[in-house]
Amino acid sequence: MITTVIIEDMPNALQVLIADLKAYCPEVSVIGTAPSVVQGAKLLRSVQPDILFLDIMLGDGTGFDLLEIFPDLPSQVIFVTASDEFAIRAFRFAAVDYLLKPVEPELLRAAVDRAIKQGNHPSQGNLNVLKETIRQPEELPRRLSLSTEDQIRVVEINDIIRCEADGNNTSFILADGTRLFVTRTLKYYTQLLEKHPFMRTHQSDLVNIQHIQAYIKKEGGYLLMDNGDRARVSVRNQPKVTSLLKNLTN
């Protein structure tokens, strides 16, 4: 049996989530609920659930206040929130699970499945990225959490050389030579990083403009990155690439 605690200050939302868990996630047992930071802290001192469903905005503070009280909480955190687009962006950069109210049953089931698969090994790093990003909504995030099969790696966005599509997955190539395989599409990261200095040069390549060394016109055209990698440039994207490089040198 998988245990869970729900921290939620809206009685109706709490009852709906409990009912949905019973209906769609019968292996999950709700062992406690609380409506506030103070009562949530009291509850978590006595129980340690496998999964913590946590609302962000609570009457006496935020879900982040609760997490700061328990920095080593051995629970997978799933945020349940009605927050705005800035919060959603923060969740995505931090690679943490979130559910928007009203919660859709299939998304609830998927979030619980991911939490069970990850086990009791939450990453404080991605929660730090979340707090950092959500508290500075007008600034571009500087770090990104990448969830691979065996770790959650927090990387500096400036250290990403390029991203390469591998079917419905993405490989990240970092400045230190690390290659990280993530089970999300390149389209997902293209949209996530659209306000950062990244360019989609090919259906399979997304590059960090800051790491471009040269555009080589032979062999169909490719970008030489400063780590020696070659990034493909499609015929359709060649004018965009050459225009960008000319503007960088002017």
Angle at 239 between CA 238 and CA 244, to 5 degrees: 100
Answer whether residue 141 is part of any domain: no
Alpha-carbon distance 59 to 226, whole Å? Answer: 50
Q: Does 18 have pLDDT greater than 90? A: yes
Instruction: Confirm whether 151 is domain-assigned.
Output: no
- Whether residue 198 is found in the same domain as residue 120: no
Please say if the pLDDT value at position 64 is more than 60: yes
Q: In this structure, is residue 182 part of a structural domain?
A: yes
Here the CATH number for the domain that contains residue 80 is: 3.40.50.2300
- DSSP letters of the chain? -EEEEEE-S-HHHHHHHHHHHHHH-TTEEEEEEESSHHHHHHHHTT---SEEEE-SEETTEEHHHHHHH-TT--SEEEEEE---HHHHHHHHHHT-EEEESSPPHHHHHHHHHHHHHH-S---HHHHHHHHHHHT-TTSPP-EEEEE-SS-EEEEEGGGEEEEEEETTEEEEEETTS-EEEESS-HHHHHHHTTTSSEEEEETTEEEEGGGEEEEE-STT-EEEETTS-EEE--GGGHHHHHHHHHHHH-
Higher pLDDT, 117 or 51: 51
**Do residue 124 and residue 180 come from a single domain?**
no
Residue 219 lies in a domain: yes
**pLDDT beyond 60 at 146:** yes
Q: Is residue 82 part of a domain?
A: yes
Q: Evaluate whether residue 150 is within a structural domain.
A: no
Position 15 in a domain: yes
**Encoded amino acid at 184, one letter:** R
Total number of domains in the chain:
2
Together in a domain, 42 and 165: no
| Percent of the residues in the chain that have a pLDDT greater than 70, as a whole number | 93
> Among 59, 49, 57, 114, which Cα is nearest to 80's?
57
Q: What is the pLDDT of residues 118-141, one digit of tens each?
A: 765 556 677 778 777 776 666 788
What pTM value is reported for the model?
Answer: 0.69
Does 250 score more than 60 pLDDT? Answer: no
pLDDT number for residue 97: 83
Query: Which of these ranges, 25-39, 61-75, 80-94, has the smallest mean pLDDT?
Result: 80-94
The pLDDT of residue 124: 67
* Residue 92 reports pLDDT greater than 90: no
Placement of tokens 């970008």 in the chain: 223
- Nearest CA-CA partner of 27 in 94, 116, 104: 116
- What amino acid is encoded at 88 in this protein? I
Which region, left, alpha or beta, applies to residue 5 given φ > 0 means left and ψ of -120 to 50 means alpha?
A: beta
Q: Hey, CA dihedral for 240, 146, 166, 160, is it positive or negative?
A: positive
C-alpha closest to that of 108 among 239, 18, 176, 12: 18
**Residue 170 and residue 128 share a domain:** no
Q: How confident is the model at residue 20 (pLDDT cuts 50, 70, 90)?
A: very high
- Here the CATH number for the domain that contains residue 200 is 2.40.50.1020
Domain that holds residue 163: 158-249
Read off the pLDDT of residues 94-117 as tens digits, 9 standing for 90 and up: 777 888 888 899 999 999 998 888
pLDDT at 73 > cutoff 90: no
Average pLDDT, the chain: 88
Of the residues 134, 166, 194, which one is the last residue of a structural domain? Answer: 134
Q: Is residue 22 part of a domain?
A: yes
- pLDDT at position 82 over 90: no
Instruction: Tell me the Cα Rg of the chain.
Output: 21
Q: Let me know whether 13 and 78 are in one domain.
A: yes
pLDDT of res. 181: 95
pLDDT, average across residues 21-30: 96
pLDDT, tens digit, for every residue of 198-238?
Answer: 999 999 999 999 999 999 988 778 999 999 999 999 999 99
* Residues 147-198 pLDDT 10s: 887 777 889 999 999 999 999 999 999 999 999 999 889 999 999 999 999 9
Looking at residue 121, its pLDDT comes to: 54
Same structural domain, 22 and 106: yes
